[in-house]
Amino acid sequence: MHRIQLANALFEGRNAIYLFGVGGTGPTTLVDTGVATASVREDLEAGLAAHGVAVADLDRILLTHYHADHAGLAGELQAESGATVHVHRADAPMVAREAGAWQALRDRHLAAFDEWGMPEEPRAELLAFLDAHDDIAGGPADAETFDDGATFEAGSTTLEAVHLPGHTEGLCGFAGTIDGEATLLSGDALLPRYTPNVGGADVRAENPLAKYLDSLARIVDGDYDRAYPGHRDPIDDPTSRARTIRRHHRDRTARVIEVLREHGPADAWSVSAHLFGDLENIHILHGPGEAAAHLDHLVAHGPVRRSGDDYRLVDPGVDLDPLFPRTRT
């Protein structure tokens, strides 16, 4: 496996994609593609060329999820190489750029903005940002779908899809033995320097925080030696990192309870303001989305009730342990 870094400056920085099959050892396979911009395409081509591979040599593209910084170039790479593109069935309509799927996402955004209590000015700023960056999602790819547990030959390695929803409904990692180590290509399910957004990153998702906590538990139970994320550098102790992110979400939920105790009842936008302060560009989506995910997790477990768009704390002494169950190992 070869890691190729892309200088993506639009979102979370330094995408990492992964190349298998150099030297004819098996299907030449790329995991993720990067965002659809000319500069990232140049980075990708240079990274492939450093290993003696051209775009036309690609046989297979595996996508961790549909976000533009991971799947944006999939369509044009497929058109040039004839490579098959594979993505979990929950994210496939987005990668295929199905008009109905993207319109449904837009409609769900607008409905969520109302539910969260997003004011008109930041709403207009966010919509302008999203519209201005629509082209970075690239053209449609003819995507073949898979489910959890699907296996793929990538070079001389067998990769197994591990469904890890939360950040998106269809996010998958790919697990295999690489250089003698149990390895997870984790996409955005596990990142080394910050926590993946839950709630705003894919407003299609129901109960995104609960799903993401299950995904973190699955990573812990996988007992991987190393993880290779979709951004930045490898993670030497995936189990510890997953547990750290779980604690982060537990602490954030405790902070949400404090906000409701001191300032509630409140809508998700107001809670987000206490958590994150003023927001701009994509974070106008991510902040209240994450606040809503934590609030809805509390509603599902009883200590918070929702009336209209407002959330009210009904159990100030809530025990958070049942909301964040510990993993087996």
The residues near 71 (Cβ < 8 Å, ≥ 6 apart) are 32, 33, 63, 65, 87, 94, 95, 137, 138, 141
Q: Is the pLDDT of residue 126 over 70?
A: yes
Mean pLDDT of 103-131: 96
92-130 burial, b at 16+ Cβ within 10 Å, e below that, comes to bbbbbbeeebeeebeeebeebbebbbbeeebbeebbeee
pLDDT tens digits for range 217-238: 999 999 999 999 999 999 999 9
Under the banding of pLDDT at 50, 70 and 90, the label for residue 318 is confident
pLDDT tens digits for range 84-100: 999 999 999 999 999 99
pLDDT tens digits for range 277-311: 999 999 999 999 999 999 999 999 999 999 999 99
Burial class (CB in 10 A: 0-12, 13-18, 19+), 214: middle
CB 118 within 8 A of CB 127: no
> Rounded to an integer, what is the distance from CA 190 to the centroid of its chain?
9
> Using alpha carbons only, how large is the chain's radius of gyration in Å?
20
CA distance 195 to 181: 24
Mean pLDDT of 184-206: 94
In this structure, how many other beta carbons lie within 10 angstroms of the beta carbon of residue 132? Answer: 10
pLDDT-wise least confident of 7-16, 21-30, 317-326 = 7-16
- Looking at the DSSP bridge assignments, the partners of residue 182 are 177
Under the banding of pLDDT at 50, 70 and 90, the label for residue 68 is very high
The residues near 180 (Cβ < 8 Å, ≥ 6 apart) are none
CA distance 204 to 104: 9
Q: Is the pLDDT of residue 134 over 90?
A: no
> DSSP code of 29?
E
pLDDT value of position 13: 66
CA distance 146 to 160: 11
Q: Is 193 helix (H, G, I), strand (E, B) or coil?
A: coil
pLDDT value of position 163: 98
Under the banding of pLDDT at 50, 70 and 90, the label for residue 316 is confident
CA distance 116 to 107: 14
**What dihedral do alpha carbons 11, 13, 14, 20 form, nearest 10°?**
-40
pLDDT value of position 11: 63
Q: How would you classify residue 160: left for phi > 0, otherwise alpha for psi between -120 and 50, otherwise beta? A: beta
Average pLDDT score over the chain: 95
